[in-house]
């Protein structure tokens, strides 16, 4: 039987060597796996030479990930009272070394479980719960950026007719549905929204970018890949391209450092020649279009494995990026006969 240590025991710290270094067989758990098949395959590719397994978990027993994981576990919803106990049970059963949450609504709850997970040998690559909560609240993130000198669009005064058109997004990032373009004040009043629940900003037609950032397990940003979002479907990039924009790379690395984000994260922003960059939101997790950055050189799953193994020189070294690489997404059916 292989020795079971806390994943933290494998990790180098900047000031010294790891407590222990082993040839480990790592197992990874991906929660809210749903249809995140490309992300699952990226982790399976990183795990294969290590003899590890990719375990998927979701609250839907008929989701696509059932057919692509090495093993699948059914989870309750992340707001259920037995969610925490079930997650710990899965991690114990499968001897999970690394837990990767993928849904906004579960991030803060899992971050608060950090010590309990560590006790059973499971590492999470999440920042502190307070920072994650700020990322989940668009209003709080807007204020954080203002207070720390990061560029954001102004909040619009909806009592001023001249402020329109405006774009409205719910403050809670875990709520899906995108935003609403409102052309005039009369239309805004017709919506009868509770304005405290929304972030209201000027509608702009700037170029839009996503930036995937990999940070160390103790929150030091390592590398960023910028991709332009050329076509959006329900808020996700269905056509995007890796671009060489050092000014956006630096901005997102600085913001990730200020928020003390760990592991893989995503930052979205607008850009125009006249106004420069404007931060839109921070997703402290892998994004829907992240596969392009991973394949384009960022290689976050592989480098996270290296961090856990204590091979920090390899994990931290900047990778060459395939600028100009484009992603063209499409839907694919999985045909099954239910048992």
Question: pLDDT by residue (tens digit) across 199-210?
Answer: 999 999 999 999
In this prediction, residue 178 carries a pLDDT of 67
DSSP letters along 182-213, please?
E-SHHHHHHHT--GGGEEEEE----EEEEEEE
Tell me what pLDDT residue 23 has. Answer: 45
> Residue 2 pLDDT > 60, yes or no?
no
Average pLDDT, the chain: 90
- Strand 123-124 with 98-100, pairing: parallel
pLDDT exceeds 60 at position 306: yes
Share of the chain above pLDDT 70, in %: 92
**Cβ-contact 206, 152 below 8 angstroms:** no
Is the confidence at residue 42, as pLDDT, over 70? yes
Query: Looking at residue 24, what is its pLDDT?
Result: 57
By mean pLDDT, which of 18-22, 252-256, 270-274 is the weakest?
18-22
Query: Is the model more confident about 104 or about 12?
Result: 104
By mean pLDDT, which of 41-45, 147-151, 174-178 is the weakest? Answer: 174-178
Separation CA 10–CA 40 (nearest Å): 23
Asked if residue 5 has pLDDT above 50, the reply is: no
pLDDT of residue 177: 60
3-state secondary structure 112-128: CCHHHHHHCCCEECCCC
Q: Which residue has the higher pLDDT, 40 or 23?
A: 40
Report, as an integer, the average pLDDT of 39-43: 98
Q: How far is 200 from 158, CA to CA, in rounded Å?
A: 8
3-state secondary structure of 224: strand
The model's pTM:
0.90
Model pLDDT, residue 15:
33
Mean pLDDT, to the nearest integer, of 162-188? 87
In order of their start, the domains of the chain are: 7-126 (3.40.50.20), 161-202 (no CATH)
What's the CA gap between 135 and 104, in Å, rounded? 9
Question: Does residue 20 register a pLDDT over 90?
Answer: no
Distances (CA, A) of 181 to 155, 195, 276: 14, 15, 22
Cβ-based neighbour number of residue 13 at 10 Å: 13
Pairwise CA distance, residues 280 & 143, whole Å: 12
> Which tokens hold the place of 77?
């919803």
User: In this structure, is the dihedral angle defined by the CA atoms of residues 248, 254, 258 and 264, taken in order, positive or negative?
Assistant: positive
Asked if pLDDT for residue 299 goes beyond 90, the answer is yes
Mean pLDDT of 140-167: 95
Neighbours of 37 (CB within 10 A): 18
């Amino acid at each position: 039987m292989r020795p079971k240590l806390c994943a933290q025991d494998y990790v180098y710290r900047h000031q010294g060597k790891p407590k222990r270094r082993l040839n480990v067989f790592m197992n990874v758990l991906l929660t809210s796996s749903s249809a995140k098949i490309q992300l699952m395959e990226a982790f399976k590719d990183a795990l294969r030479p290590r003899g590890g397994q990719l375990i998927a978990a979701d609250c839907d027993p008929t989701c696509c990930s059932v057919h692509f994981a090495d093993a699948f576990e059914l989870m309750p919803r992340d707001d259920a009272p037995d969610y925490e106990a079930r997650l710990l049970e899965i991690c114990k059963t499968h001897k999970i070394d690394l837990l990767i949450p993928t849904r906004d609504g579960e991030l803060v709850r899992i971050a608060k479980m950090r010590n309990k997970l560590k006790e059973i040998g499971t590492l999470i690559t999440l920042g502190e719960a307070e920072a994650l909560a700020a990322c989940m609240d668009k209003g709080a993130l807007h204020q954080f950026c203002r207070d720390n000198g990061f560029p954001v669009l102004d909040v619009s005064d909806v009592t001023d007719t001249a402020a329109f058109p405006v774009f409205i997004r719910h403050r809670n990032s875990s709520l899906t549905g995108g935003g609403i373009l409102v052309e005039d004040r009369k239309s805004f009043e017709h919506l009868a929204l509770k304005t405290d629940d929304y972030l209201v900003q000027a509608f702009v037609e700037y170029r839009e970018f996503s930036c995937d950032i990999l940070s160390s397990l103790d929150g030091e940003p390592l590398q960023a890949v910028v991709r332009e979002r050329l076509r959006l479907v329900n808020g996700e990039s269905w056509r995007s391209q890796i671009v060489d924009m050092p000014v956006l790379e630096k901005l997102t690395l600085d913001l990730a450092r200020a928020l003390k984000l760990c592991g893989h994260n995503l930052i979205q922003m607008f850009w125009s020649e006249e106004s420069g960059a404007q931060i839109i939101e921070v997703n402290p997790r892998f994004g829907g279009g992240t596969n392009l950055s991973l394949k384009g050189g960022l290689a976050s799953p592989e480098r996270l494995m290296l961090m856990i193994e204590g091979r920090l020189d390899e994990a931290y070294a900047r990778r060459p990026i395939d600028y100009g690489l484009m992603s063209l997404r499409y839907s694919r059916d999985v045909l099954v006969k239910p048992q």
